[in-house]
Structure formats: C-alpha cells, structure tokens
Structure 1
C-alpha cells in the first residue's frame, strides 16, 4: 500500500512539472544583485516602560514616547515613531533590501495638514474623507480633539486645530491589529502643546 501511494504521489509531482531532485544551477551572488538582499526579520520589540520626551517644534507638540522607540522623518514632514524591529526592517527595505515574510508592523505618526479656510474640525474631516459616524471627542490642553477609527479598525487618529496657525495636527496610530479609541487616548495623555 505504501509503495502504491509513493508511486501515485511521485507521478502527480512529475505530471505537474515538479522535479524530484533539486535542479543544479550556476552559483549566484545574491548580495550583488540589486534589491535582492534579504532583510533580517527582527521581531517587533516591546515598548520600554521608560519614556522620553520627543519635542516637535515644527508641529507645535511634545510627546512622551517609549525610550527604546526610533524616530524618522518622512519627505512630507510626517514624523514617524517605530518600535526598533519595525524601524530596522523599513530601513533595510529603503536601502534596496526585501522583506520575505509579512510581520507585525506598528507605527505612530504625527503630521500637519493645511487648513487655509480655517474649517471647523467636523468640516475638515469631511473634506479629508475621514468618515467615522462614531467619532469621539476629547481635548488636549483645552483644545477640542476628534478621534476617528475608520473600518476595519487598524488605524485610529486624533485631529485638532493648531492654536497658532491655520493647520490641523493629526496623530495616527496604525498596526496590523485591532485598535480602539482608548489606544489614542493614551497617546493624547502623553501629548502637550509647546508654547
């Protein structure tokens, strides 16, 4: 019986074109091929219990972040806070490497959006296409904040108007996991406006 199953399995593999022995090919130097270096998959590193203050005068805020988290600024001025594992994988990919398998990704971003018409927050959110009928309100140093969580719930954002200019500051937390409004409330508790 075992022999018959082996014959059937072998025949099936050959019929769909899968060779039984590995094919020999000329050796290649994977590292020398552009974009082919494999990025090491550094697992997500848990947030440190100790916090440090990240001051962002260009955005008018200071935020207490985990001491071990890394910072990078994107070309559009967005400041991104990443766990060290995610930071290393993204840095490798940006240098031409490739990540082979999906992994847990987490980011916290702070950015400024122009609001030249000085729209109220609900109107500004509609203009941005941020539809969340369950948006919740909060405040930051007595400034009104709207917290949104668009479906499927992998991102939660806090929106507030900058007191000094015609801009709206957006705090956005994203991961490949479910996030709740309270996740953003924790970040708001760690945020203060700069004088």
Structure 2
C-alpha cells in the first residue's frame, strides 16, 4: 500500500510537483531542451492500493502508474510515460503537445453548506449529466459528459464522482479525463476496485 508519507519532492520552476510512490526520478531537463517523450504506457494487469488519507479514499490503480501531488492539493495519477514527461516539463523542459489520460482526486469547497447535489449542480458545466451513485456504501453523484455541444468534441471524455467524506472539507471529486471517449466506464471500473478509508 502506498501512502502519502515518504514521498519525493521535486522542485520545479514551473511549480513544484510531489511524486507519490517508489522508483527513480527522471533527470532534470536542461533549460530550453525538449523532453524525451516515451509516449503513453499501457496499464499493467496488476494493481496496487494508493491510500489518500487527506481525501478518505483508497484507490486501486494499475501497479505501474504514478501519482503526483500538485501545489493546490490535487493528486494526479498517470501512466509512467506521461509521468516522466510531466516531471520534465515541470523542471523546465519543453514538450510537443499531446493528450493523455489522467485520474485526478481533489476537493471542492462548500462555503455555503449546500447539500451535495446542489454543490454538484452549482459547480459542473452545463453539458454534464448528474446521476446518483453509491461508492462503497456512501451516496454520491456521477457527473458525466455524454456528448459534446462543441462543433468538434469528444463524447464521454470526462467523468467524475462527487462524495462527502469526514476526512476532507467540502466534497471529494474523483475524476477521469482524456482526449478520448470511454471515461465513464473507466471511472466506474476504478471505483468498483476502490474503497473509502472509513468504511472498513
């Protein structure tokens, strides 16, 4: 099980990233140099548990995927090739643009103490649909982008679960996104393997 304790800190001119997990940290990019991009790496068949105490959840992620703690408290989970590229860019390297799949875990403040559905409705974009979803015994809501109202767009490129936990103020949002479709099923597959920390 990987916890937030014992992480590596990466100081970057473009903002500090904190990596969660084990393994070598890619070399620092030279100024004005282009980063090597190994491309997206396929998910391993095996999983590992990533315990995120500050969000009150434990996610079962592919064993080769890496997690990064961003300055704003968001945790981003990506494949190892994308991880290497993002770390290089954060350290000052340049990269050619490409899309990538990611899972993000973050909190959304609720200063007006709205009930969860009201908070979701107030926060999400208009082209997203809301439906009830129970995550490990906890009532929450799925927000999905089933279609795009843009002239050029990708349907089902984003999905998110909104839940309340005792471990975080406001709502915890677990989302998957990609410049590809299939994100609702990807999120549901992750949630079925994962759990709340206070449920056991």
Check the 8 A contact 1:159/1:168 in 2, yes or no.
Answer: yes
More helix by percentage: 1
TM-score by length of 2: 0.73
Q: Which has the larger radius of gyration?
A: 1
Shift in Å, 1:179: 2.8
Check the 8 A contact 2:68/2:75 in 1, yes or no.
Answer: yes
Give the aligned partner of residue 156 of structure 1: 159
Per the alignment, in what secondary structure is the counterpart of residue 188 of structure 2? helix
**Deviation digits for residues 129-149 of structure 1 (CA, Å, limit 9, x no counterpart):** 433563222111221121112
Superposition RMSD in Å: 1.9
Shift in Å, 1:176: 1.2
**2: distance between equivalents of 1:104 and 1:164?**
32
Shift in Å, 1:104: 3.8
Per the alignment, in what secondary structure is the counterpart of residue 129 of structure 2? coil
**1: distance between equivalents of 2:63 and 2:125?**
31
Shift in Å, 1:40: 0.9
Check the 8 A contact 1:154/1:177 in 2, yes or no.
Answer: yes
TM-score by length of 1: 0.75
User: Are 1:186 and 2:182 matched, yes or no?
Assistant: no
User: Are 1:91 and 2:87 matched, yes or no?
Assistant: yes
Per the alignment, in what secondary structure is the counterpart of residue 186 of structure 2? helix
Shift in Å, 1:41: 1.6
Shift in Å, 1:128: 1.2
Structure 1 residue ranges without an equivalent (≥5): 1-33
Shift in Å, 1:156: 1.1
Cα 1:43–1:133 shift into 2, 3 Å: closer
Give the aligned partner of residue 36 of structure 1: 32
**Deviation digits for residues 95-147 of structure 1 (CA, Å, limit 9, x no counterpart):** 111113x3341110111122233322221012214335632221112211211
Give the aligned partner of residue 20 of structure 1: none
**2: distance between equivalents of 1:132 and 1:147?**
13
Check the 8 A contact 1:118/1:166 in 2, yes or no.
Answer: no
Q: How does 1:12-161 map to 2 (within 5 A)?
A: 35-100=31-96, 102-132=97-127, 134-150=129-145, 151=148, 152=154, 153-161=156-164
Structure 2 residue ranges without an equivalent (≥5): 1-29, 149-153
